[in-house]
Chains A and B, each alone.
Chain A
Amino acid sequence: KAGVTQTPRYLIKTRGQQVTLSCSPISGHRSVSWYQQTPGQGLQFLFEYFSETQRNKGNFPGRFSGRQFSNSRSEMNVSTLELGDSALYLCASSLGGLGTYEQYFGPGTRLTVT
């Protein structure tokens, strides 16, 4: 079974721009969650989508948004990029709830904001 894929793998943007990241979950998985990982803050939960509905949200500003499509693929958008948004963005898919099912992570998208 194919794993979680994320595109693009690397991205360089300038401050003020916006960016869209994509995540394709494992076939059959309806939950997709997004995380930001930085050396200083560690792995932080952004949001979770299940059957096209945002079910849970972390403590990030409204510049961070996402959506999920009917085929469970998900996109994450960051508007008005700031230098502090430079990070590894990971998505993960699972069969159901975050705490109750194992999550399968993708390789991540490395975003650099200059």
Chain B
Amino acid sequence: SQKIEQNSEALNIQEGKTATLTCNYTNYSPAYLQWYRQDPGRGPVFLLLIRENEKEKRKERLKVTFDTTLKQSLFHITASQPADSATYLCALEDSGTYKYIFGTGTRLKVLA
């Protein structure tokens, strides 16, 4: 079956450490993959987009990798801060069906 899986459990890390979130997909062929942040009661906010021919993308303290062979994207937040606490979602558009799908999301909590 087709699905996108993210760390199902909440992720707690200490302030200053690097948080690593995973996004694994099966039976999709995305040309692009996106990451969003969502705070409680609010709509998601776009963070990064990575193309299938890009191995890595960076933006300030954020880094995304995309491995089409492993069908996996990793999302890193370096020097994490309590303000980074939120739910992080990955999303992709399947190039075969043009369906747009969000992952289940990972709740990140950065402890001071």
**Is the pair B100, A99 in contact by a Cβ cutoff of 8 Å?**
yes
Q: Which residues of B (88-112) have their CB < 8 Å from a CB of A? A: 89, 92-93, 95, 98-105
- The interface residues of chain A lying within 8 Å CB-to-CB of B16 are none
- Majority DSSP secondary structure for residues of B touching A: strand
Are A42 and B105 CB-contacts (below 8 A) given A90-B43, A102-B49? yes
Query: B90: shortest Cβ distance to chain A, in Å?
Result: 11
Number of interface residues of B (CB under 8 A): 22
* Proximity bits, B19-50, A CB within 8 Å = 1, else 0: 00000000000111010000000111110010
Is the pair A58, B99 in contact by a Cβ cutoff of 8 Å? Answer: yes
Is B43 a contact of A56 with CB atoms below 8 Å?
Answer: no
Q: State which residues 6-37 of A face B: CB under 8 Å.
A: 33, 35
| A102 pairs with B46, CB closer than 8 A | yes
Given A56-B99, A102-B49; A43-B44 close (CB under 8 Å): yes
Chain A contributes a number of interface residues (CB within 8 A of B) equal to: 23
Per-residue interface assignment for chain A, residues 72 to 114, with 1 indicating a CB less than 8 Å from any chain B CB and 0 otherwise: 0000000000000000001010000111101111111000000
Verify A102–B102 contact, CB threshold 8 A. Answer: no
Contact B42 A107 (CB under 8 A): yes
In chain A, what residue has the closest Cβ to B103? Answer: A42
Interchain CA distance A100-B32 in the complex, whole Å: 6
Contacting pair A97 B93 (CB below 8 A):
yes
A-side interface residues toward B, CB under 8 Å? 4, 33, 35, 42-45, 48, 56, 58, 90, 92, 97-100, 102-108
Closest 3 CB pairs of A and B: A99-B93, A105-B43, A102-B46
